[in-house]
Amino acid sequence: MSESPVSAPSRLALRAGLVAAALLMLGALALFYFSLGGKSAAQAADSTEVTVTAKGCEPNAISVPAGKRRFTVINGSERAIEWEILDGVMVLEERENIAPGMHQQLSAQLTPGEYAMTCGLLSNPRGTLTVTAGDGSERMTEVSARALIGPLAEYRVYLTLRGRALTQAAEQLQQQIADGDLAAAQQAYRDARAADQQMALAVGLFSDLDQRLNARADYFAQREQDPEFMGFQRLAYGLFEQQSLDGLLPVAEQLNRDVADLRAGLRAEGVPAPQLVRGAGRVLQAWHDQQQGQAQLSELAQADLMNLQQGVDKVVSLVVPVLEQAHPEQAAQLAEANQALAAGVSEGSAPSVLPLTEALAAQLANVNPLLAAAN
C-alpha cells in the first residue's frame, strides 16, 4: 500500500510558527532575567540604586525618606560582594554573595538618622546613608518595648548560656591547636562554631567583631592569604581544607579575645527590641544568599544552618505568644514556617532547604512591624 503524500506547510503557518517561537524565546529570556534577580518596572521606580565597584560604593552618599525603602545593589566589581546598612556598629540589613555583574533587591524599614554602608572589600571606604523624616511610615518600626520585656529577658539568659559555651569551646580549640591535635581541634571548632551560629543575631549587633569572627575570604583583597583574614572562616580553611594546624594558633588566640569582647558587649548592651525578630530574619537571609546556587550543602554549611535554625527557633518561641494576642494568623504562619525549616534542615539538600530558609526569613520580616501593635 502506498503512503499518502505529505503537503508542505503554508506560508501563513510558517509565519505563525516563527512568531510563536519568538514569543517562547522572549518568555524564556524573561524568566531567566527574573530568576537572576531581575526587577519589575514598578520595583525599579521605587528603588534606590547603588553600585559596588572594586573601590567602593557609587554613589558613596545616599539620602532617602524614612519608612520602608527598597535598594537595588549592583555588583560592578569582579568578585562576589556583600552590602550592609550599619547603625553605628550594628548591622540593620544586609545582602550577601552578590555575584559579579548581578544585582539583588533589599528592603529596609528605616527611621530618620545617619547610617553607614559597607562597600565590597572590607578595606574599601564605607558610604553614608542619610534617612530624612518621611511620610510617617517609620512609626511601623517601633516594636513595643513593654510587650517584649519578658522575651528579651529570657533571650538575654539564652545568650549568657550560649556565650559561656562559646568561651569554653574557643579555649578548648586554642589548647588543641597548641597541642598539635588536629582531630580534637576540628571537634572543638565544631563546638565553638555551633555556639557562634546559635547566637548569630546578637553577634551581628557588633559589625567589627562580626567581621573578625565570621567574614569570608572573598571579602579580603588577598583572600585566604590576606593577613586580616581571621576568625572562624580562617580556622575552617586550615582545619578542614588544608588539614593543617600551621599558623592557626595566633588565629585561635585572637578568636578568644574577640569572644571575650563580644560577651562584654552583650552584657553591657543586650539586644534592642527592634533587633530581636529583624536580626533573626537577617541572619537566615544572609545564610540563604551565601548558599544560593549550591546543588548540595557542604558539611560545614549544613551544620551552620542547623545551629542558626536552633537560635532562630528560640526567638520564634519567644515572640509567637506575643503575636498571638493581636495577630493570631501571622503568629500561626510564623510558627508553621519555623516548623517547616526545623523539619527540613537535616536533609542537607540545597534545593529543598533554601526555599524553607527564605520563607522563614520573610515571615520574620513580615511580623517585625506587627509587634508594635501587639501591646
Write out 17-63 in H/E/C secondary structure: HHHHHHHHHHHHHHHHHHHCCCCCHHHHHCEEEEEECCCCEECCEEE
Taking the mean position of all CA atoms in its chain, how far away is CA 5?
64
Write down the pLDDT at residue 72: 94
Mean pLDDT of 246-259: 98
Mean pLDDT of 248-276: 94
Write down the pLDDT at residue 174: 98
What predicted TM-score, i.e. pTM, was given to this entire model?
0.78
Task: Report the C-alpha gap between 230 and 213 in whole angstroms.
Answer: 7
Mean pLDDT of 251-264: 97
Write down the pLDDT at residue 270: 85
pLDDT digits 0-9 by tens, 194-230: 999 999 999 988 989 999 999 999 999 999 999 999 9
| DSSP code at position 239 | I
Task: Report the C-alpha gap between 298 and 291 in whole angstroms.
Answer: 10
Q: Judge contact between 96 and 122, C-beta under 8 A.
A: no
Write down the pLDDT at residue 243: 98
Mean pLDDT of 86-102: 86
Question: Three cell numbers at 71?
Answer: 535598594
Write down the pLDDT at residue 13: 58
pLDDT digits 0-9 by tens, 130-176: 999 865 544 444 446 677 889 999 999 999 999 999 999 999 999 99
Give the residue among 185, 293, 168, 194 at the shortest CA–CA distance from 247: 185
Mean pLDDT of 2-18: 52
Place of cell 536580626: 279
Place of cell 580553611: 237
pLDDT digits 0-9 by tens, 28-81: 444 444 444 444 555 556 899 999 999 999 999 999 998 888 999 999 999 888
pLDDT: which is higher, 113 or 141: 113
Q: What CA–CA distances, in Å, run from 327 to 155, 234, 332? A: 22, 44, 9
Write down the pLDDT at residue 4: 41
